[in-house]
Amino acid sequence: MLTDHPSTLDAPRSALDQRAKRVSARTLARLRWRCRHGMLENDLILTRFLDARGEAINEADEAALSRLLDFTDNELWDLLSGRTEAADASLAPLLRELRSA
């Protein structure tokens, strides 16, 4: 039997559901620890970024930052300073944010 009531599948999703899921405090703490990379210049940029945006980091940001942290200190500095660009284009937005931090 058909009804005049819309199904829950037709209902718009709430604003909370539409936002990307934020990372947990524990994940953020681990990420902050990993950002202690060894080179002072990298540490300053990464720490400034986490201080400014840490609470708003979502899972996609965390994944991109984790990929960046896999680079060596010198490779990471070249990316952060703008000397080189990442071969992975999906890292470009995060690099822009880090450079402006």
9 pLDDT band (50/70/90 cuts)? Answer: very low
- Assigned fold of 22-100: DNA polymerase; domain 1 (1.10.150)
96, 63 contact by CB (below 8 A): no
Mean pLDDT within 38-55: 90
- The per-residue pLDDT for 8 is 40
> CA torsion angle for 100, 56, 19, 95 (degrees, to 10)?
30
18 pLDDT band (50/70/90 cuts)? Answer: very low
- The per-residue pLDDT for 64 is 93
- The per-residue pLDDT for 79 is 96
* Domain extent listing, the chain: 22-100
- The per-residue pLDDT for 98 is 93
20, 59 contact by CB (below 8 A): yes
Mean pLDDT within 54-60: 87
d(CA 101, CA 95): 10
22-44 pLDDT per residue, tens: 888 888 888 888 888 789 999 99
Q: Which residues of 68-78 are buried (b: 16+ CB within 10 A; e: fewer)?
A: beebeeeebbe
d(CA 33, CA 29): 6
d(CA 63, CA 48): 18
